[in-house]
Amino acid sequence: MTTKLSALQRWVDEVAARTQPETIHWCTGSDDEYQQLVDLMVEDGTLSPLNQETYPNCYLHLSDPTDVARVEHLTYVCTEEPDDAGPNNNWMSPADGHARVDALFDGAMQGRTMYVIPYCMGPITSPYSRCGVEITDSPYVVVNMKLMTRMGSAALERIERDGKFVRGLHSTGDLDPERRFIMHFPDELYIKSIGSGYGGNALLGKKCHALRIASWQARSEGWMAEHMLIMGIENPEGETHYIACAFPSACGKTNLAMLIPPHSMPGWKIHTLGDDIAWLHFDDDGCLRAINPESGYFGVVPGTNEETNKNAYDMITRDTIFTNVARTEDNEPWWEGKADGKPAYDWRGQPYDPSQGKAAHPNSRFTVAATNNPSYSELADAPEGVPISAIVFGGRRKRLAPLVYEARDWKHGVLVGASAGSETTAAAIGEVGVIRRDPMAMKPFCGYNFGDYWRHWLSLEERSDKLPKIFHVNWFRQDDDGNFLWPGFGENLRVLKWIIDRCEDRVGARETPIGYLPEPDDIDTAELDISAETMRVLSSVDLDRWRIENAHFATYLDSFGERVPQELRDEHERVASELDKAS
């Protein structure tokens, strides 16, 4: 196959000339193609079939042990001006960036097949969707892209119609971390990634395109590309509200997006639109609408069980690719937090030995099509997306943030998002559990200077008088022994109910310097084993800690210098003086 779009054909020819593959395969996205690639990988050991009786169509991939997460220190945004990438990104000039990786791509696909994957981020017919083409030498990437995006012939037809697409060039390379780079060239809508076969480093439609490049495009085109789940919450009266929640990596998006309502909330239903990325656009009435550019999940496996996330637990019993989990003697996948079975082999494929660490890698993942999710929304393919009532920020804060609070207004909400911080997780290489600033959960994903990004957020206020309300949640408060204070998971719906009641003006709130908090009795705790004292702690504001936090944030803002919008500084000053007054 080839294409009638000469710009695409020329690029494929040019890449082939540089990388010298043995053959070129244009992906159609058919089920047969998927199965053929799976069979090929089973043959060469890239995948192993799991127990086909209990886990039909499920396969295990064990990645190179040095290649198990995103590599933020090797991820670059290449702009002419360093300030356009900002202190939140690693920077290289476009000329240096290309030179650096092109040398590594020379002959990189010798003896291998080069796959050309046309894909569409978002429903094929949506005006909000954007397309891309990933060229890769990894069949593992192809099958993951098939599960997670609308890829193949239909996408190619749209690309040929649009004439415009994001280019993503990927090679697994030799997996040497010294020769691993994830480079973005936003002005050229070009991504070049080499030396990793893992998740966000290699599935270029996801973080590289749908967040870093898309956030850059979104700013100039007047929309937003965000690290947010999208879910619909239907109450017993049949009324559905949609919310979009930005939590950092491994902080609960997938779990929240498909939660099962607690027993004490009969008649409530959840509709999952997306679990990781939202593209937000204004419609003609000034209503902010969201589409999920993806159509599958690359989710954290550890912790998934029938109690925490039954929808996910069920959907990954078939048609799933597991990466870096352990295996039982019966060849079933196993991970920490799975209630039944025990590990016989760890994520490196070695006989399990508890002294060698966890059986499944903490960042082990499942890849599965969203259609496997019992709560997948009927509107997931709606070209116009869904209207958003609330935007919710969150993160892992052991001590500081209350269970939930509401921003006073849009401007304050932008400050709440910008000042969010969270403990680091295993989703990226590096130390785990240290607090870092993670504005809007976009620290690793914003493709341009955060100062400009906050300005873009603030500017939305001029465009609509129907903006969503903004909230902040924290499921991760701990006591002195490290136990979570809040039960989390399905029980989080109790908090979402308060959020929706606030959007509909159905419940009051208590004003504090950090925003509006629920009265302790306003979060329903029926059938929960939680004391009034714990609820009091979860809904109180520790003014001393908040003043320290606020001072830290001031220093952080300063690191962005003149790019920080004055409006944001003023808002920060306002909160600082409220905190001083209240102390």
Pairing relationship of beta strands 421-423 and 515-517 according to DSSP bridges: unpaired
Q: Could you give the strand order of the β-sheet that contains 240-246, starting from the edge strand earlier in sequence?
A: 269-274, 229-234, 240-246, 390-394, 469-473, 404-406, 515-517, 510-512
Measured torsion, CA atoms of residues 168, 173, 175, 176, in degrees rounded to the nearest 10: -110
CA-CA distance, 344 to 331, in Å (whole number)?
Answer: 9
Stretch that binds ligand GTP, among 22-30, 57-65, 250-258, 414-422 (CB under 6 A): 250-258
Taking the C-alpha atoms of residue 426 and residue 206, their distance in angstroms, rounded to an integer, is 18
| Stretch of 126-134, 236-244, 272-280, 378-386 lying at the interface with Mn ion (CB under 5 A) | 272-280
427 binds ligand GTP (CB under 6 A): yes
Quick one: 212 or 502, whose CB is closer to Mn ion? 212
549 contact, one of ligand SPV, ligand GTP, Mn ion, none, CB 5-8 Å limit per kind: none
Cα angle, residue 70 at apex, residues 219 and 433 outer, rounded to 5°: 100
- Which is catalytic among the residues 251, 287, 446, 503? 251
Decide which of ligand GTP, ligand SPV, Mn ion, none touches 200; Cβ closer than 5 to 8 Å per partner kind: ligand SPV
Three-class DSSP category at 264: coil
* Nearest one of 458, 475, 463, 450 to 409, comparing CA atoms: 458
Beta strands in 530-570 (DSSP E): none
In the bound complex, which residue of the shown chain has the CB atom lying closest to ligand SPV? 200
User: Contact between 251 and ligand GTP (CB under 6 A)?
Assistant: yes
Q: Which residue stretch of 41-49, 297-305, 548-556, 569-577 sits at the interface with ligand GTP (rule: CB under 6 A)?
A: 297-305
**Is 406 a residue that touches Mn ion (CB under 5 A)?**
no
Residue 558: count of CB within 10 angstroms of its CB: 10
Rg (CA), the chain: 23
At 136, the amino acid letter reads T
Q: Does 300 bind ligand GTP (CB under 6 A)?
A: yes
User: Taking CB under 5 A as the rule, does residue 72 contact Mn ion?
Assistant: no
Read off the DSSP letter of residue 526.
T
Question: Is residue 144 within a helix (H) or strand (E), and if so which, with residue range?
Answer: helix 139-148
Q: Is 251 a catalytic residue?
A: yes
Q: DSSP label at 478?
A: B
Of the listed pieces 83-91, 128-136, 242-250, 465-473, which binds Mn ion according to CB under 5 A? Answer: 242-250
- Is 275 a residue that touches ligand GTP (CB under 6 A)? yes
- Measured from the CB atom, is 152 or 299 closer to ligand GTP? 299
Shortest separation between residue 441's beta carbon and ligand GTP, angstroms: 8
Please return the burial class of 547, using the count of CB atoms within 10 Å of its CB with bins 0-12, 13-18 and 19+: middle
- The binder of 199, among ligand GTP, Mn ion, ligand SPV, none, by C-beta within 5 to 8 A per type, is ligand SPV
Q: Should residue 276 be labelled a site residue for Mn ion when binding is judged by CB under 5 A?
A: yes
Binding site for ligand SPV (CB under 6 A): 70, 199-200, 206-207, 249, 276, 298, 427
Strand, coil or helix: what is 274? Answer: strand
Do 408 and 472 contact (CB within 8 A), yes or no? no
Q: Which does 196 bind (CB under 5 to 8 A by kind): ligand GTP, Mn ion, ligand SPV, none?
A: none
Chosen residue from 276, 319, 346, 452 binding ligand GTP by CB under 6 A:
276
474 near ligand GTP, rule: CB under 6 A:
no
Q: Which C-beta is closer to ligand SPV: that of 69 or that of 280? A: 69
Instruction: Return the bridge partners of 24, or none.
Output: 114
Q: Give me the residues that bind ligand GTP (CB under 6 A), please.
A: 247, 249-255, 275-276, 299-300, 302-303, 308, 427, 475, 484, 488-489, 492
Residues tagged active-site: 251
> Which residues contact Mn ion by CB under 5 A?
249, 276
